[in-house]
Chain A
Amino acid sequence: MATGSGAAAAAADAEEKESGSRMITLTSNEGKAFVVTEASARQSATIRSMVDDGGCVDKGFPLPNVDSKTLARVIQYCDEHGNKEAHTVDERAALAKFDKDFIAELDADKAFLYDVTMAANYLHIQGLFALTTQCIADTIKGKTPEEIRTAFGIEYDLTAQDEEEIKEEDTHA
């Protein structure tokens, strides 16, 4: 450890940063504050880069695009992946189990799945985004357009002309 008076604080700060033991406050769009470990927050590339740029760690990070319910769920994922080790086979299996249960719950609530997907995209949480988009892809697979619309509650907005164009693209030869 550095002993110089000026460098001491910086070194301690660096060490803390290194270990990820600092706490970071994330604020939802409803103004609710969530305090998480830095290791957890660093799952988000968006927050990671802000922290590394020396951003407002103390003031916390307002997330105007994420509501409290979604943020709580996203943090649940980040805690699991940021705070836990994944070195041994067992640890990795535990994480995989967590992911499986996590996505199964979201899959059952498509509106929530949407919110979490958007949050993962906005916060650049790679693992979570991969998890949710794969879930969406799996839902789409093997379904007719009608079934896809039903699964996601999408209204049909294609015109007869659109359909004609699509058919044209399809049969062009």
Chain B
Amino acid sequence: MKSVKVTINGRLYEREVAEHKTLLRFLRDDLGLTGTKEGCGAGECGACMIIMNGVSVNSCMVLAAEANGAEIETVEGVGTNDELSALQDSFHRHHAVQCGFCTPGMIMTATDLLRRTPHPSREEIKDGIEGNFCRCTGYEQIIEAIEDVAGTEDSHA
């Protein structure tokens, strides 16, 4: 076991964590932050995307022990309980959600993308979210939702 002190969505958590535990399972099983999903456990699908120290990473590919001292953002910290973030609201308005299982990871990826590239082109959006599988929507309405926030939407809406 390792002692881990980690700031998640602005709150400090101190826990003893099994050393082989992934950050994904630490968030979900130990802290009950189940907004972050597991789709494959192998870094392929992006359902577990979080932002760690300002960069987006697949949390199934990170050990919880590594996160000691880290600043982590998960879907639970996006927006507030009273107000959706602009991206969340745009996903809502654009029907960019179907089953919703990829949605938290997609929101985190898009949040990071727009911080790096506030006005991405359509191609930059596709490249940015290629690591997040969505089996329901066919991505189009997700791309439109991101374009809307970025102010780069074309005539699709």
**Are both chains from one complex?**
no
